[in-house]
């Protein structure tokens, strides 16, 4: 793979297909629409492509025809921007824009995986086909966030599940964000590089759900004396983890 080029401001696009230098590919419809109507790309302009399978590719727009954009791939670049921490976010499903905001910003902050869980107090309660549709929508938001922030590894957004969110690696430290906790996150953090953070929806997790987390090995931790909104809590924890043990 080649060296990193100076591509500040160069548009980035995710392409779910094999990429190789010296070949051409067509941008996906949604990405092409954004490129034409928002970014106003023109033939000859530099772009960056990635497919989530390692590194990124320097490329150039070959042609623009209505909603169809053909891109010439020039060279692979050995670039990764992943956090040294492997953080799984177990997020209580919140409503509408709150959940979308949480996912987008969590990806920017380096989260490795997002597991939405349906809590008793979750206002939004998608099920069946609607739940699958929500998951696909959230995954697209994660991809868009990677395009924006420079990550080449797309964190998976899992299917909506029950509390406490499934099985986790034995070596991971599991933290439950709780305003009732007495231990600050900064003092509760251990040396593990794999961390699971659980954050509740708008009204938090109820007593039964907190008990389920405790049974699963989660330790309650506090993010200061102030009560944080659902879209603030997880992001504050991720930022703190990056500052304490990550790459901030």
- Tell me how far apart the alpha carbons of residues 62 and 248 are, in angstroms, rounded to a whole number: 38
Pair (40, 111) in one structural domain: no
Report the pLDDT averaged over residues 210-219. Answer: 96
Pair (128, 234) in one structural domain: yes
Q: Which of 138, 69, 80, 79 is nearest to 110 (CA)?
A: 80
Number of domains in the chain: 2
Report residue 222's pLDDT band, with 50, 70 and 90 as the boundaries.
very high
Pair (58, 155) in one structural domain: no
Residue in the structure block whose two tokens are 């206002």: 123
Expressed as residue numbers, the domain containing 122 is: 86-245
Pair (157, 194) in one structural domain: yes
Indicate the length of the chain as a whole number.
248
Whether residue 142 is predicted with pLDDT greater than 70 in this model: the reply is: yes
Q: Which residues of 201-218 are buried (b: 16+ CB within 10 A; e: fewer)?
A: bbebbeeebbebbeebeb
Pair (235, 133) in one structural domain: yes
Q: What is the pLDDT of residues 157-214, one digit of tens each?
A: 999 999 998 888 888 999 999 999 999 999 999 988 899 999 999 999 999 999 999 9
Backbone φ and ψ of 236, nearest 5°: -65, -40
Domain membership of residue 7 (yes or no) is: no
Pair (174, 157) in one structural domain: yes
Whether residue 124 is predicted with pLDDT greater than 90 in this model: the reply is: no
Q: What is the pLDDT of residues 77-88, one digit of tens each?
A: 999 999 999 999
| Encoded tokens for 224 | 């200061």
Longest dimension (CA), the chain: 60
Residue 204 CA: distances (Å) to CA of 47, 115, 119: 42, 16, 8
Domain membership of residue 224 (yes or no) is: yes
Pair (191, 131) in one structural domain: yes
Residue in the structure block whose two tokens are 């060296």: 3
Residue percentage of the chain with pLDDT more than 90: 81
Q: Which residues of 77-94 are buried (b: 16+ CB within 10 A; e: fewer)?
A: bebeeebebbbbbbbbbb
Domain membership of residue 5 (yes or no) is: no
Which of 55, 77, 99 is the last residue in one of the domains? 77
| CA atoms in the 13 A half-sphere facing the CB of 162 | 4
Contact 39, 27 (CB under 8 A): no
| CA atoms in the 13 A half-sphere facing the CB of 9 | 2
Predicted pLDDT of residue 8: 64
Pair (17, 49) in one structural domain: yes
Report residue 153's pLDDT band, with 50, 70 and 90 as the boundaries.
very high
Residue 36 CA: distances (Å) to CA of 42, 75, 170: 8, 23, 47
Predicted pLDDT of residue 7: 60
Q: What is the pLDDT of residues 23-62, one digit of tens each?
A: 999 999 988 988 988 889 999 999 999 999 989 999 999 9
Whether residue 231 is predicted with pLDDT greater than 70 in this model: the reply is: yes
CATH number of the domain that 149 lies in?
3.40.1280.10
CATH number of the domain that 43 lies in?
2.40.240.20
Q: Helix H segments across the chain? A: 29-37, 96-108, 128-149, 185-188, 207-215, 230-245
Domain membership of residue 1 (yes or no) is: no
Which of 27, 47, 77 is the last residue in one of the domains? 77
Report the pLDDT averaged over residues 104-116. Answer: 98
- Tell me how far apart the alpha carbons of residues 178 and 175 are, in angstroms, rounded to a whole number: 9
Pair (39, 153) in one structural domain: no
Pair (67, 132) in one structural domain: no
Pair (63, 91) in one structural domain: no
Report residue 5's pLDDT band, with 50, 70 and 90 as the boundaries.
very low
Pair (119, 193) in one structural domain: yes
């Amino acid at each position: 793979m080649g060296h990193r080029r100076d591509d500040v401001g160069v548009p980035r696009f995710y392409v779910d297909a094999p990429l190789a230098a010296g070949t051409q590919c067509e941008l996906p419809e949604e990405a092409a629409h954004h490129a034409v109507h928002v970014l106003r790309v023109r033939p000859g302009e530099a772009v960056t492509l990635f497919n989530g399978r390692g590194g990124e590719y320097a490329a150039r727009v070959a042609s623009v025809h209505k909603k169809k954009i053909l891109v010439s791939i020039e060279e692979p670049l050995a670039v990764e921007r992943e956090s040294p921490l492997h953080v799984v976010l177990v997020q209580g499903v919140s409503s509408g824009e709150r959940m979308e905001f949480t996912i987008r910003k969590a990806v920017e902050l380096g989260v490795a995986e997002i597991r939405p869980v349906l809590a008793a107090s979750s206002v939004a309660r998608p099920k069946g086909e609607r739940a699958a549709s929500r998951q696909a929508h959230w995954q697209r938001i994660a991809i868009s966030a990677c395009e924006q922030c420079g990550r080449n590894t797309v964190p998976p957004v899992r299917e909506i599940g029950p509390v406490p969110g499934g099985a986790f690696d034995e070596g991971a430290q599991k933290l439950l964000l709780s305003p009732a906790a007495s231990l600050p996150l900064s003092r509760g953090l251990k040396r593990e590089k794999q961390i699971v953070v659980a954050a509740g929806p708008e009204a938090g997790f109820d007593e039964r759900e907190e008990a389920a987390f405790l049974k699963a090995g989660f330790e309650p931790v506090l993010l200061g004396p102030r009560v944080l909104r659902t879209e603030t809590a997880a992001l504050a924890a991720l930022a703190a983890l990056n500052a304490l043990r990550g790459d901030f």
